[in-house]
Structure 1
Amino acid sequence: MLIRSRRGWEIPETQVTPEAIVTRRRALLGTAGLAAATIATPAQAGWGLFGGSAPPPPRKPLVAPANPAYQGGRPLTPEADATSYNNFYEFGGSKSVARAAQALPAEPWTIELAGLVARPRKLALEDLLKQVSLQERVYRHRCVEAWAMTVPWVGFPLAELVKLAEPRPEAQYLVFTSLADPATMPGLRQSWYPWPYTEGCTLAEATNDLAFLAVGMYGKVIPPQNGAPVRLTLPWKYGFKSAKSIVRVEFTTRRPVSFWERLQDSEYGFWANVNPDVAHPRWSQARERLLGTDEMVPTRIWNGYGEFVAGLYTNLENERLFV
């Protein structure tokens, strides 16, 4: 008899929330907000209704000029949805990690430049931001779980960080390491996960103009649950490639094996470029659900950014580019 042990991130079908409950939630939130209009905003009413004691604290404004070349191509996802439905396993396995993530120690923050660079060093984030030009870009974000959002990020091209690092000629890959703080991140107690969270990309991908380091969203500093104070954004790849709360960037000759790839490489590979024709082993990738409306729309290859990135993957016919 074959006995299969369930992995930590899997749940039995009996624990899956029925679709009817999910689709009724939005209507319930709207009703609760109207009923409490004289004493609380709809968002505050929603927090109380679903167990939150209070909404997250207000975020500081962070305004930057919009880059007209990147306007998303879809209506923006409502900020309340984009900042309350999040994967951040360091704070828990559900999508409702916003309250727990407020414990993230985002100030002060340093990023280590390591490996094959001219001068390995640590940069305070405030000093780094003095050496780059912030801009706003609207990007589509596609999760490997087949949901999607469209977000106005504030940040700077990853290529600017690469230039500051001065990689040595033999450098071929970048490895991003996220914060792992046991004092504030309860998810780290799941010892079977290969913490800290790491992700990687090629140097060519990192210097492509689409690759972006975000420090804000919706005209404010990025909230903890979305990867404060600095996260990677690679919009043509599945969302797990966009590492959050980055503390270290290493330049190396060796292709990295990242967090999810270590856990299950048949489902979460190195490249992870979006493709509707290549299914996840456990679900189709042909369509995606838009946060905010729950509309189901067709998935686009490269998440619609093929004109910018398809040329990066020539002569890689034997690679699993879309897993």
Structure 2
Amino acid sequence: MDLADTVIERVRVERLDENVAGPWEAGDSRFAVVVEARGVAGAFAPVDELPAALVATRLGQSALRHPVVDHKGLLRRLLDELGPHAAGLGRWAVGALDCAVWDLHGRLADLPVAALLSDRPARLVPVYASWLSLDLSSASAAESVKATVGEGFAFTKWALRDAEASEVALLAERAAAWAGQSVAVDALGTWGHLRTTEVAPLLTPEAVRWVEDPLAWTDRAAYAQLREQAEGLRVAFGERLAHVEDTRALLEHCRPEAFTFDAVWCGGIAEARDWLGVAHDVTVPVHLHGRAFLPAVHLAAAFPQMAGAVEYQVVWEPRRQRVLRGTLQPDGGYVPLPDRPGLGIEVRL
């Protein structure tokens, strides 16, 4: 099928059926973005209410009659529509719509999205486990860490929110000992400069792979300053980019241990592909954020030389996948690339 002249004919937002996905709980995303052309529908889900509403009320109309295969052009068009509001929530909404269009493109071309991005995508994608709701000071923490590590993930990540520096260091060392390998630590934006500089000399590289998001915002000046103040501390960031900076300058000046941006929150697959290239050029490893797990798997499969293990959120991802007809679950530290067209798993509409 020649898709050059195929344009987006309809964009809609669907509320997902609670009777199909099971009873909703706090934090569940309840919407799908659906895009149609030539009698074929592409979809991305689950999507939160606010970005879904932005697609329904504004962005969907802007996407109509745009060529399905022109992903970069669509990205520019949608960002221009948002203007100065093309950050945070706006980028999230753009990314959700972008992923639905990629799904549509793949279905029309009868190819997985990864095969649209690369001639020879990898069949298996490595994943790492994150369990950010586990209290590492609880009596069951050691058993939970050991059991998670036993599933063969590339490595694991655990949350250490705002606490005294000595307690943070102690829990990080314990987690590494239980895991039998270095662990990643996620501060969830709660530490700030002072706490991070206090913790930095207490963490050993043998125990801690990186500290993710110690600062509330991903600001180039703030992370460059932190690099000087906490010399030797391995940091990771990316998911908290609330506005679009010059990605190359951000990475070059701040030199994170890992760039952990989200394939939807950054603006979608089209934008994420460029961010992967920039990170590769400046030799910063990428470990894609797990909120947009399915798009991240396609990107990592298409560009295995640019993207390392993808985050698998062991508590939240199975809940998100309830809205899909099928699951994408790790086995021995890898997930298989879906071989069906588009993103490869149907949304329960």
* TM-score in terms of structure 2 length: 0.23
Larger strand proportion of the pair: 1
Larger helix proportion of the pair: 2
Ranked by relative contact order (alpha carbons within 8 Å, sequence separation 6 or more), the top structure is 2
* TM-score in terms of structure 1 length: 0.24
